[in-house]
Amino acid sequence: MTEVLDGVIIGSGHNSLACAVHLAAQGWKVGVFERAGEPGGAVKSGEYTLPGYRHDWAAMNLSLFAGSAFFKQYSEELGSHGLAFAPASNCFSSVFPDGTWLGVSNDLETTASRIEKICPEDARVWRALTSEFPGRAETLFALLGSPAKKRAFAYILFKEWRKSGSDGVLDLARFLLSSPRDWLNTTFTSPKVRALLAAWGMHLDFAPDISGGALFPYLEGMVNQAFGMVLGQGGADTIVKAMVSQIEASGGSVTCNAEVTRVIVENGQARGIELKDGRQIMARKAVIANVAPSALLKLAGETGNARYDLGLKKSAHAPGTMMIHLAMDALPDWTAGEELKKFAYVHMAPDLDQMARTYAQAQAGLLPEEPVIVCGQPTVVDPSRAPEGKHVLWLQVRMAPGTIKGDAAGKITATDWTEAAEPFAERALDILERYAPGTRAKILGRHIVSPALLEADNPNLVGGDQVCGSHHLTQHFMFRPVRGFADGTTPVGNLYHTGAAVWPGAGTGAGPGYLLAQKLAG
């Protein structure tokens, strides 16, 4: 007997789950189908090294989720299903080759005093930016949380015009078009302050000289200063477990080990899905695919809209990432100071030129000679993730090419990730050791996840691209994934697209899934 649901969702990433939660709450009978053995996509946690040591597979920072419109609506229900956060007041920091460091804590005077020791003028600017942030945040968050439609964006800009005039709108436009380097160079004097914030651009495919990237270092700096950072209690998968539980409590289902092989399309309408085992699940109202752009065409076939199909085929991906999960006997002894042991993130990205060079090398298919290292210290915030007195480290190695053409340092000869993963991981650990001597001796267990393994685990992470497609201006806002389809619609009736490949893009804020669910539920 063929199963019939109101909504069928392909993939169980957090956007799929948020979409399902909202649709189920509106009375839809929904089913989520996931090829992997567990839900969550890139947001999952597990004992990847040793028993008792819980690591976040890819995403660790849940601040966007905690601050999202979706969570605002469903916080009470999700809390009843076990969702719990672990707040971090010491958010992120950067270490520098001269043995110094700089970090943002959510106490303004603490952060400003650190900056003041380096550059008094930058401390004054930081205080001013913090003071102005609530007014600017209203417009920016409205922009990032709105449907990607001309009317919606025009209304936001009209409100900004009424508030700050034509000059204010032009200043906003200039800021949104600026590269991280543009904004940082015109805002701060100290190279260290610039590097501290520019590191965030590297999380989202915005190297220092990429237009449109200024927004993200600015928002991360201001949001962490204002609210702190949020991790998941026990692991980032706390949001996944809670959403799955909420879906099931509302009469929906999440089925794992259920690979979808095609979307059933008849007469230009999506009717349902077919699984690898031959089962068909039909959809009365919507088939929703949380997949990378090129994968949508593989599932549904050519749509009949040549511009749309070409846009999906040509969708550009960001460079990849390597993850290194470490079970630790103790935290790193940072040369720059013991206070770094209090921070959720420590960036090893000392200057803008190095970040730009790293990005260019990865884009050229080369293993960077000096990759950017993001060292997450989640057990500082949430000791439950490791046995008493022990720790886990979460290392992101950015950037890394999905397909290796060579080594910028001329030392690694392997061009296949099966052989290149180990020496490239050693390069990253060498950098960590440089800033925290003796760290290697504290490692009890490790698990290396190359870009190739990230994609094998989750095909949406093409080449290890954790943001499911570049966020450069030609592929963002109303162009994500294709002009005219940024709201999740497709040329095929009842077939919808969601996930990080769709506006408003990557991150744990669940915006694409929630916006689509609101659209479908009316």
pLDDT digits (tens, 9 = 90+) for 193-230: 999 999 999 998 999 999 999 999 999 999 999 999 99
- Torsion (CA) 159, 162, 165, 168 in degrees, nearest 10: -30
Radius of gyration of the chain (CA): 22
- % of the chain residues with pLDDT over 90: 92
**What value does the mean pLDDT take over residues 169-195?**
95
Element (H, E) at 325: strand 320-328
Q: pLDDT digit string (tens) for 317-328?
A: 999 999 999 999
In this prediction, residue 152 has a pLDDT band, given cuts at 50, 70 and 90, of low
Q: In the beta sheet, which residues pair with residue 414?
A: none
pLDDT reported for residue 159: 79
Residues ≥6 apart with Cβ < 8 Å to 164? 171
Element housing 516 (H / E): helix 511-521
Q: Is the pLDDT of residue 145 over 90?
A: no
pLDDT of residue 1: 59
What was the pLDDT predicted at 489? 97
b (16+ CB within 10 A) / e for 418-441:
eebbeebbebbbebbeebbeebee
pLDDT over 90 (residue 166)? no
Per the CB < 8 A criterion, the answer to whether 188 and 102 are in contact is: no
d(CA 344, CA 323): 16
What whole-number distance in Å separates Cα of residue 130 and Cα of residue 142? 19
Please say if the pLDDT value at position 156 is more than 80: no
Give residue 138's pLDDT band: very low, low, confident or very high (50, 70, 90).
confident
Mean pLDDT for 416-423 is 98
% of the chain at pLDDT higher than 70: 99
Structure tokens at 470: 């570049």
DSSP 3-state of 148: coil
Q: Which domains does the chain have, with CATH numbers?
A: 3-43+67-83+235-315+469-521 (3.50.50.60), 104-223 (no CATH)
Does this model's pTM top 0.85? My answer is yes
Per-residue pLDDT of 494-521, as tens digits, reads 999 999 999 999 999 999 999 999 999 9
Query: Which of 182, 56, 193, 75 lies closest to 126 in space, CA to CA?
Result: 193
Confidence at residue 522, expressed as pLDDT on a 0 to 100 scale: 81
Give dist(CA 112, CA 81) in Å, integer.
Answer: 39
The contacts of residue 290 (CB under 8 Å, 6+ apart) are 9, 10, 11, 12, 13, 15, 16, 19, 41, 460, 498, 499, 513
Instruction: Mean pLDDT check: name the lowest of 55-69, 138-152, 455-469.
Output: 138-152
Q: What is the mean pLDDT of residues 323-349?
A: 98
**pLDDT at site 171:** 86
Quick one: angle between helices 191-198 and 108-118, nearest 10?
130
pLDDT value at position 379? 98
Euclidean distance between CA atoms 105 and 122, whole angstroms: 16
| pLDDT digit string, tens, across residues 221-278 | 999 999 999 999 999 999 999 999 999 999 999 999 999 999 999 999 999 999 999 9
pLDDT of 411 reads: 98
As given in the structure block, the two tokens for residue 415 are 């061009």
- Name the band, by pLDDT with cuts 50, 70 and 90, for residue 306: very high
Q: Phi/psi of residue 255, each to 5°?
A: -115, 120
Beta strands in 342-494 (DSSP E): 345-348, 366-367, 372-376, 391-400, 406-407, 443-449
Per residue in 352-411, pLDDT tens? 999 999 999 999 999 999 999 999 999 999 999 999 999 999 999 999 999 999 999 999
